[in-house]
């Protein structure tokens, strides 16, 4: 079920969602925000990196869910 969504066509460009290059610009931002937010919560490097990975993953999953919902709405419309 996820695979068709990933290959879903996004209107109006007609390009598969993951091929929309602008979306990949979110990646450096996610890394930067995760590291800084985690570093303001911990003092040692180990917990900082662990927290950053969890936080970054949370952001990616959240964005993917929103992307999936919007794609579904677009397909149903």
The residues of the shown chain that bind other proteins, judged by CB under 8 A, are 22, 25, 28-29, 32-33, 35-37, 39-48
Backbone phi, then psi, for 25, in 5-degree steps? Answer: -70, -15
The distance of closest approach from Cβ of residue 4 to other proteins in the complex, given in angstroms and rounded to an integer, is: 27
The distance of closest approach from Cβ of residue 35 to other proteins in the complex, given in angstroms and rounded to an integer, is: 5
Output 29 or 75, the one with its CB closest to other proteins.
Answer: 29
Give the separation between CA 42 and CA 27, rounded to whole angstroms: 23
Q: Are 20 and 10 within 8 A, CB to CB?
A: yes
- The CA-to-CA distance between both ends of the chain, in Å, stands at 19
Output 36 or 65, the one with its CB closest to other proteins.
Answer: 36
């Amino acid at each position: 079920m996820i695979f068709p969504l990933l290959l879903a066509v996004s209107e109006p460009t007609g390009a598969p969602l993951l091929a929309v290059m602008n979306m990949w610009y979110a990646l450096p931002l996610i890394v930067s925000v995760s590291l800084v937010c985690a570093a303001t919560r911990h003092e040692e490097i180990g917990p900082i990196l662990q927290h950053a990975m969890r936080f970054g993953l949370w952001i990616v999953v959240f964005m993917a869910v929103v992307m999936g919902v919007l794609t579904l709405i677009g397909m149903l419309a």
